[in-house]
Structure 1
Amino acid sequence: MITRQLGTTGPTVSALGLGAMGMSDLYGPSDRAESLATIDAALEAGINLIDTGDFYGMGHNEMLIGEALRGRRDQVLLSVKFGAQRDPAGAFLGFDGRPQAVKTAVAYSLKRLGVDHIDIYRPARLDPSVPIEETIGAVADLVKAGYVRHIGLSEVGAETIRRAAAVHPIADLQIEYSLISRGIEDAILPACRELGIGITAYGVLSRGLISGHWTKEAPSAGDFRAHSPRFQGENLDRNLDLVEALRAVAEARGVSVAQIAIAWVLAKGTDIVPVIGARRRDRLTEALGALEVVLTPADLTAIETAAPKGAAAGDRYASAQMAMLDSER
C-alpha cells in the first residue's frame, strides 16, 4: 500500500482511506455482514485509515467499526467527527462545539468504539456560536490527557483554519474534493499547504454521481441523495453528461470512470488522501485499482476537459446544509 503523511504533524496513512458512513446511515439500507466484510477487505489491502462520525446512525457506525476492529486495533488509525446534533427521527439540528460537549462526545465515542484513544478527532462543522479556539482548545486538552492523538478539521474556510492552527497543530482538513467539487482550490487548499495541513478528501465520486454506476433511477428510501440538488431533474441530466464524457477518457485508458475520478484526486498532490465511501467489497476493489492508475499531463488535460471546473449543475448540498458550511462562506 502506498502511504502519505497527513500534513507536517499528522500520522502516516494509506493513500486511500475508508469512509464508513454509508454502512450505517444516509444512503438507505445497508448489509451488516457485507459492511463487516468490506472493513476486513480494506484492512487486508493495507488501508489503515477509517473515518466515521459519532452521529452516523447515532452511534451505530462506531459500534460496527468497534466490532470489526476487535483484536486488531493497532492496525488502524481512527478518524472521528463529532458535534452534529440530531433528533430521534434523524433530522439535523445544528452543531455543538462547546468544550464540555466536546469532552462528553469523546467519552461516548471511546466507549462505542471500544478503544482507549482516537487517532484524529475533529469537529464535523463549525459551531457559529462557539469560537473555534474554544473547540480546538478542548480537543487539545484531550490530546494532553492521551484520549486523542491528532486534531483535524472538517468543512471550514481558510480564516477558521488559520485560527484553529494558532491554537494547536492541525493534522488534516476533511473536506469534499472531486472533479466536480473543486472550490477548495481557490483559498482553502493554498492555506492548508502554507500551514502544513493535509487534506482527507471525501465525496471524490460525488456520492456516486461520477462513479460511472449511477442511473436515473430514484434513490432508495432513506437515501439523502433524493434531496441533493445534483441528483435532481435537469441537473442530474447535465451531470450524467459529464460522466459520459469522463467514461470516454476512462475507456481510452482501460480503466473505470470511478478509477479515473479517484486517480485524478490522488494526482492533485501527495498531501491529499481520498476517503472512499465503499460499503461493498466490489466497490472497494474498484477503488483500490485507482492506485495503479498513473496519469500523464495529457491524461489530466483530457479529464479536466471532459469535466471542467465549475461544470457541475447544482450545489453539493441542499440550501439549508450549504448555509451551515463555513467552507462555503
Structure 2
Amino acid sequence: MENRTLGRTGRKVGVIGLGAWQLGADWGRVDEADALGTLDAALESGVSFIDTADEYGDGRSEQIIGRLLRSRARSGAALPTVATKMGRRAPQVAANYNAANFRVWIDRSRRNLGVERLDLMQLHCPPPEVYFSDEVFDALDALVECGAIAAYGISVRSCDQALAAIRRPNLATVQLVLNAFRLKPLEQVLPAAAAAGVGVVARVPLASGLLSGRYTAATVFGADDHRTYNRRGESFDVGETFSGVDFATGLEAVERLRPLVPEGVALAQFALRWIVDQEAVSVVIPGARNAGQARANAAAAALAPLDRDTLRAVQEVYDELIRPQVHHRW
C-alpha cells in the first residue's frame, strides 16, 4: 500500500486506514471477536493507521484497539499509528476545553488504549470558539512537551473551521468529511493544508455506506444505528450521517455513478480511490464491521488512478444532485 506522510507528525502511514467508530457504537452491535478480526484483517492488508475516539461506545472502541495493541506487542508485530479524539463526552461549551480537562480525558484514553503516550490526539469537532483560543492550543502544546501525546490535530465539521485550524503553527492534522458527495474541501482546505504541511484525514468516505451501493429505498437500518436516528441531526450534526445528503437523493446519485465504475471494482472501492487521488489527503478512514469489508477497503489503494473524464463525471453528479443540499452548509 502507498504510504504518505501524516502531516506534521512526520509518520508514514498507509493511505487507507481504518475508522473504528463502527467497533464502538452507533452502527449496530459488533461483538468483540468480530471487532478484533476486523482490526487484524485491516493490518494484514497494509493498513497502518486506526482512528477512534473516547466517545465511541463510551471507550469501547479504544479498549478493543488496546487489546489489539497488547496482542501485537507480545508477538513482536509492528504497531499501527492510533489516533483518538476527545471532547464530545462533555457538555459542548468552550469553557470545558481547558488544560485540566484535557489531562483527564487524555489519561482516560491512555488507559483504554494501554499506552504511555498517544500517537495523535484530536479535538473532536469542538465548539466554534475553541478554534480561536490561544489557551486551548497552548495547553495542547504543553501536553506534547510533557510526553503525554506525540502530536495533536482537530476534527472539524466545516471548511471554515478547517481553515482556522490549519493556521495554528503546531497543528499536525485536520480531519474532515471528504467524499464524492462532499467536494467543497477541494476548493480551499486541501490546498491550504498542503501548503502548511498539515495532514488531512478524510472521514465518512463512503457517506455512511451510501457510496457502497448496497442500499435501496427499502433498506431498513437498526434502531441503534445513527442512519435511523440521526437522519435529521436529532443526536449530532447531520453532516455525519449520509454526509448530510437526503437518503433518496443519495440513492439517485449512486445510480448515476455506477456506470463510471471499472469492471471488477466495487463501488465502495471506486469511491475510496477517488479520495486517494486527492494528493493532499494523508489517509482516508473507511469503517468496517467485518474482516471482509476491511480487506476490500484496503484493496482500493492498489487500483489505478481515475482518469480525467471520470473525475469530471463525478463532479457533474455532485453539481447537479448533491451541491444544492450540502455545499453551503459545511
Q: Deviations over 1:8-37 (max 9, x none)?
A: 553211111111011111112223211110
- Does the 8 A contact of 2:205 with 2:275 survive in 1? yes
Among 303, 310, 322, the residue aligned to 2:314:
303
Correspondence for 2:89 among 48, 64, 85? 85
Pairing partner for 1:94 from 88, 92, 95: 92
Note if 1:290 corresponds to 2:288.
no
**Which of the pair is proportionally richer in strand?**
1
Out of 237, 258, 265, the position equivalent to 1:255 is 265
Q: Provide the secondary structure at the position in 1 that maps to 2:89.
A: strand
Other-structure match for 1:61: 61
Q: Which amino acid aligns with 1:171?
A: A
The percentage of counterpart residues that share the same residue type is 29
Q: 1:256 to 1:285 in 2, by over 3 A?
A: same
Match of 2:281 among 260, 263, 271: 271
CA shift, 1:128, in A, is 3.9
Q: 1:3-82 maps to which residues of 2 (within 5 A)?
A: 3-72=3-72, 74-82=78-86
Contact 1:210–1:261 (8 Å) recurs in 2? yes
Separation in 1, partners of 2:231, 2:314? 24
Question: Which amino acid is 2:88 matched to?
Answer: A
- Residue 94 of structure 1 and its aligned partner are, at CA, apart by 2.0
Distance 1:108 1:314 in 2: 41
Q: Distance in 1 between matches of 2:280 and 2:308?
A: 16
1:139 is aligned to 140
> Counterpart amino acid of 1:94?
Q
Using the alignment, how far apart are the partners of 1:222 and 1:76 within structure 2?
29
- What CA deviation, in whole Å up to 9, does each residue of 1:24-71 have, x standing for no partner? 111122232111101011111221111010011111111111012114
Q: Which residue of 2 aligns with 1:90?
A: none
User: Match of 1:59, SS?
Assistant: helix
Picking from 222, 230, 252, the partner of 2:224 is 222
Alpha-carbon distance change, 118 to 163 in structure 1, aligned in 2, over 3 angstroms: same
Q: Which runs of 5+ in 2 are unaligned?
A: 233-240
Once residues 290 and 275 of structure 1 are traced to their aligned partners in structure 2, the CA distance between those partners, rounded to angstroms, is: 12
Q: Specify whether residues 75 and 310 from structure 1 end up closer, same or farther in structure 2 by C-alpha distance, changes over 3 A only.
A: farther
Inter-CA distance 284–9: structure 2 relative to 1 (3 Å threshold): closer
Between the aligned partners of 2:11 and 2:33, the Cα distance in structure 1 is 30
**Which deviates further from its counterpart, 144-153 or 293-302?**
293-302
- Once the two structures are superposed, what CA deviation does each residue of 1:265-311 show, in whole Å capped at 9, x if it has no partner? 10111534211111211111221221122122233233334x32463
Question: Where do 4+ consecutive residues of structure 1 move more than 6 Å?
Answer: none
> Residue 206 of structure 2: SS of its match in structure 1?
coil
CA deviation after TM superposition for structure 1 residue 221, in Å: 1.4
Residue in structure 2 matched with residue 175 of structure 1 by the alignment: 176
Q: 1:129, CA displacement in angstroms? A: 5.0
Answer whether contact 1:98 1:135 (CA < 8 A) is retained: yes
| Contact 1:204–1:262, Cα closer than 8 Å, also in 2 | yes
Counting only pairs closer than 5 Å after superposition, residues 173-212 of structure 1 correspond to structure 2 as 173-212=174-213
Counterpart in the other structure of 1:319 = none
More helix by share: 2
Structure 1 residue runs without a partner (length 5+)? 87-92, 317-321, 323-327
TM superposition score normalised by structure 1:
0.85
Tell me, yes or no, if the aligned pair for 2:50 and 2:83 is still in contact at 8 Å.
yes
Count residues in correspondence: 309
Deviations 1:104-139 (A, max 9, x none): 100111011101111111100223454432222212
Distance 2:155 2:39 in 1: 23
Cα offset for 1:150? 1.3
> Which letter maps to 2:246?
N
Matches of 2:256 and 2:162, distance apart in 1 = 35
Distance 1:8 1:141 in 2: 16
In 1, distance between residues paired with 2:153 and 2:3? 18
CA distance, structure 2, for counterparts of residue 188 and residue 167 of structure 1: 14
Q: Which amino acid aligns with 1:201?
A: A
| Greater CA drift, 184-193 or 254-263 | 184-193
